[in-house]
Amino acid sequence: MENNKKIILTGDRPTGKLHIGHYVGSLRRRVELQNSGEFDEINILIADDQALTDNADNPGKIRDNIINVVLDYLSVGLDPNKVTMCVQSQLPALHALTFYYMNLVSTARLSRNPTVKSEIQMRGFADEGLPTGFFTYPISQAADITAFDATVVPVGEDQLPMIEQTREIVEKFNRIYGDTLVLPTAVIPSNASERRLPGVDGKAKMSKSLGNCIFLSDSSKQIKDQVNKKMFTDPQHLKIEDPGHLEGNMVFAYLDAFCNDDHFKEYLPEYANLDELKAHYTRGGLGDGTCKKFLINVLEETLAPIRARRAEWESDIDSVYDIITEGTKKAREKTNATLQRVQSAMRIDYFKDRSIINEWKEVIKQ
Ligand code: TRP
């Protein structure tokens, strides 16, 4: 269906606090999109139902992390007056849409979804048994996206297969039942370090259990310790004079993601920009300590205002509760309307008016 409005829908699973990988990969962009004024609607879904698909035995963890994730949103500067923040489980239309869309997707197609495939490996579901809900979560994500009539879905690179799957469902639905659903487009971050910020130890994934994360809620001291004590640099760069390598060097991966020329003016005026710093490091004669100190300043400048805003919201949890209650109410109206449109397209709106009585009278004559 053509949609003249520009509508964003994106979301996160509330399984833990968000970290700076989430920030450079998506949160920062969401704030920019919010402030661009280009969008008619921005919706952010706290995907607790999706989080339950691999946490069925631990709903308490999901319940607890809803507040952490909302605080992360508010602290990075997402504005509840401009963005609708809502909770997935409280939007029953999403469940109904999922159920209809399931009939449009083959199990073979789901098995080919590369993100689901690797997640199944990571979680050991190949051996223990794969929960059906987990296997089908891309379909529920299609329900999320289409229920809001989203035109734009800003996500991390790993989510591209979900948007692809959604587009297939939209096309198939519209082909079978008539033009009803809006075809969404994914938007992913432009630079490589934004797309996937590695852990401070250089491992591809930032994760709480690996202890290689910097969380948005971390203190100055925690950030300093992660950079000074844990951050992986260049093992061949033993003496300052030695030429340094940028490849696999987390200080530079993080600087790529975070620093701008103003940071140089402020904290390291000997260099105009990151290219100059990199050139010196590669040539030799620049120590890791100098680069780490600069990075700590850059991170601190970025995270200090986020920390301050968090502290304010933390002292007013009642208002945070009201924000997601209101957001969810608004989202419920919107997603219910989409469900009605879908059911009408499928002609399963039997009791909308009494017109089916006439059809049934014809049926019994046959
Ligand atoms: N699968 C997403 C993630 O793991 C979370 C999510 C749920 C989502 N529903 C969504 C993202 C809809 C974008 C649109 O990060």
Domain assignment present for 30: yes
pLDDT grade for 192, boundaries at 50, 70 and 90: confident
What pLDDT score was predicted for residue 272?
97
User: Residue 9 has what DSSP assignment?
Assistant: E
Atom of ligand 1 nearest to the CA of 12: 5
Verify that 186 and 123 share a domain, yes or no.
yes
Which of 65, 137, 144 maximizes ligand 1 atoms within 8 Å of its Cβ, making it the mutation to test the pocket? Answer: 144
* Whole-angstrom distance, CA of residue 55 vs CA of residue 134: 10
On the question of pLDDT at 194 being above 90, the answer is no
Tell me the CA–centroid distance for residue 300 and ligand 1, in Å.
Answer: 28
Verify that 80 and 130 share a domain, yes or no.
yes
Cβ–ligand 1 distance for 155 under 6 Å, the answer yes
What pLDDT score was predicted for residue 212?
95
Domain assignment present for 204: no
Which of 13, 41, 48 maximizes ligand 1 atoms within 8 Å of its Cβ, making it the mutation to test the pocket? Answer: 13
Tell me the CA–centroid distance for residue 243 and ligand 1, in Å.
Answer: 42
Are residues 300 and 263 in contact, defined by beta-carbon separation less than 8 angstroms?
A: no
Q: What torsion do the CA atoms of 104, 87, 21, 60 make, to the nearest 10 degrees?
A: -100
Domain assignment present for 2: no
Q: Is 347 helix (H, G, I), strand (E, B) or coil?
A: coil
Verify that 181 and 277 share a domain, yes or no.
no
- Find the mean pLDDT for residues 182-206: 89
Q: What is the pLDDT of residues 288-305, one digit of tens each?
A: 999 999 999 999 999 999
Please report, as a single letter, which amino acid is at residue 27.
Answer: L
Are residues 222 and 214 in contact, defined by beta-carbon separation less than 8 angstroms?
A: yes
What pLDDT score was predicted for residue 71?
98
What pLDDT score was predicted for residue 97?
98
- Find the mean pLDDT for residues 246-257: 95
Verify that 33 and 59 share a domain, yes or no.
yes
Domain assignment present for 205: no
Domain count, the chain: 2
On the question of pLDDT at 193 being above 80, the answer is no
Tell me the CA–centroid distance for residue 347 and ligand 1, in Å.
Answer: 29
Verify that 225 and 128 share a domain, yes or no.
no
Tell me the CA–centroid distance for residue 2 and ligand 1, in Å.
Answer: 23
Domain assignment present for 214: no
Q: What is the pLDDT of residues 69-113, one digit of tens each?
A: 999 999 999 999 999 999 999 999 999 999 999 999 999 999 999
Verify that 224 and 322 share a domain, yes or no.
no
* Whole-angstrom distance, CA of residue 200 vs CA of residue 212: 5
Q: Which of 31, 43, 32 is nearest to 6 (CA)?
A: 43
Say which residues have a Cβ less than 8 Å from residue 249's Cβ, sequence separation at least 6: 232, 233, 234
Tell me the CA–centroid distance for residue 47 and ligand 1, in Å.
Answer: 7
Q: Report the CATH number at residue 229.
A: 1.10.240.10
Cβ–ligand 1 distance for 11 under 6 Å, the answer yes
Domain assignment present for 215: no
Tell me the CA–centroid distance for residue 220 and ligand 1, in Å.
Answer: 30
What pLDDT score was predicted for residue 298?
98
pLDDT grade for 254, boundaries at 50, 70 and 90: very high
- Find the mean pLDDT for residues 40-55: 98
Please say which residue of 313, 333, 352 terminates a domain: 313
Domain assignment present for 185: yes
Cβ–ligand 1 distance for 47 under 6 Å, the answer yes
Are residues 224 and 309 in contact, defined by beta-carbon separation less than 8 angstroms?
A: no
Verify that 170 and 36 share a domain, yes or no.
yes
The packing angle between helices 317-345 and 92-101, to 10°, is 40
Q: Which domain holds residue 23?
A: 7-197+317-362
Verify that 113 and 174 share a domain, yes or no.
yes
Q: Kindly report which listed range (22-26, 37-41, 73-77, 274-278) carries the lowest average pLDDT score.
A: 22-26
Verify that 272 and 240 share a domain, yes or no.
yes
Q: What is the DSSP string of 35-94?
A: HHT--SEEEEEE-HHHHHTT-TT-HHHHHHHHHHHHHHHHHHT--TTTSEEEEGGG-HHH
Verify that 264 and 292 share a domain, yes or no.
yes
Cβ–ligand 1 distance for 15 under 6 Å, the answer no
What is the number of other CB atoms lying within 10 angstroms of the CB of residue 84? 22
Q: What is the pLDDT of residues 307-340, one digit of tens each?
A: 999 999 999 999 999 999 999 999 999 999 999 9
Verify that 351 and 232 share a domain, yes or no.
no
Q: What is the pLDDT of residues 125-164, one digit of tens each?
A: 988 899 999 999 999 999 999 999 999 999 988 899 999 9
Atom 5 in ligand 1: residue holding the nearest Cα: 12
Verify that 300 and 260 share a domain, yes or no.
yes
Cβ–ligand 1 distance for 49 under 6 Å, the answer no
Please say which residue of 295, 313, 331 terminates a domain: 313
pLDDT grade for 191, boundaries at 50, 70 and 90: confident
C-alpha separations of 30 from 45, 94, 195 in Å? 13, 23, 14
Higher pLDDT, 296 or 123: 296
Domain assignment present for 187: yes
pLDDT grade for 251, boundaries at 50, 70 and 90: very high
What pLDDT score was predicted for residue 181?
98
